[in-house]
Structure 1
Amino acid sequence: MMVKHNHKECTSSLVPVRDALDVISGKWKLQIIISISSGNNRFREIERSIPKISSKVLAKELKDLEEHQLIKRTVYDDSPVLVEYTALPYSDTLNPVIKALYDWGIQHRKKILNK
């Protein structure tokens, strides 16, 4: 049972949730993290592994994830230039969140489809 809190307590308890959602919300971020963690390290590999993501959106989301220290972008001075993305250890802290969302998604799909 949920305990009722005053407005200030409620607002302060939502701040960490809002902070987390600011980092991982949207259609693509978790999919990108999962793709990179699964071994897709180059831009085109990541793009091909996520249906319907545009190059422009992928580039923006990769930059956001890098700024939040979840992934690392490494540029190799080859010819042509090679860019690889790797998941940083900090991204592993999202594994329980991803697992919980996965489990909830399966449960929710069953509930909705079995009306």
Structure 2
Amino acid sequence: MRILIGALGLALLGGCTTPGDLLKSNPTIMAETSKSPKEYAMCVLPGWQEHQAGATMNETLTGYRLISSAESIGQTNELLEIKQTSHGSQVRLYQRMPGMTIGRSKVTSSVYNCL
């Protein structure tokens, strides 16, 4: 029984995904908008919070970053980088499991609807 619990614990730790891990992968969505980074982030955030109550928004040196994660297991599910450009903002969405769309429609629709 102890071996089973230990193996399960290791499996869960091995599945942890940090924001830095997501940034090493290719973005699921890449787009541009004429909105400022703050305006765009404020549009997307409510939809993300409907999907994951703990979704957060942080200001960065070049714009904003939204993160949706399962804090209880230390896993970042989505990360949205919004960077200032000369004509508005560049948007990049990174997802832990990009092929899995069940329960994620609010996340992607918020990204597209706010463009």
TM-score by length of 1: 0.36
More RCO (CA 8 Å, sep 6+): 2
TM-score by length of 2: 0.36
Larger fraction in helix: 1
Larger fraction in strand: 2
Higher alpha-carbon Rg? 1
